[in-house]
Structure 1
Amino acid sequence: MAEQYNTSAPRMAVKVPINSDLLRKARELNIDLSATLEWALKEELSRGIAAQWGKENRVAIKSYNDFVEQHGCFGDEFREF
Structure 2
Amino acid sequence: MTATRRATSMTLDAALLDEARALGINLSRAAEEGILAQVRAERARRWKEDNAADIAAYNRWIEENGVPLARYRKF
The answer to whether TM tops 0.5 is yes
Q: State percent identity of aligned pairs.
A: 29
Q: Given the alignment of the two structures, is residue 42 of structure 1 paired with residue 36 of structure 2, yes or no?
A: yes
Task: State the distance in 2 between where 1:72 and 1:36 align.
Answer: 46
Select the structure that is richer in helix: 2
Q: 2:68 aligns with which of 61, 74, 80?
A: 74
Code of the aligned partner of 2:42 = G
Count of aligned pairs between the two proteins: 75
Moved >2 Å (runs of 4+): none
Q: 2:49 aligns with which of 44, 49, 55?
A: 55
TM-score of the two chains, using structure 2 as the length reference? 0.91
Higher relative contact order (CA 8 A, sep 6+): 1
Give ranges in structure 1 of 5+ residues lacking alignment: 1-6
TM-score of the two chains, using structure 1 as the length reference? 0.85
The residue aligned with 2:24 is 30
Give ranges in structure 2 of 5+ residues lacking alignment: none
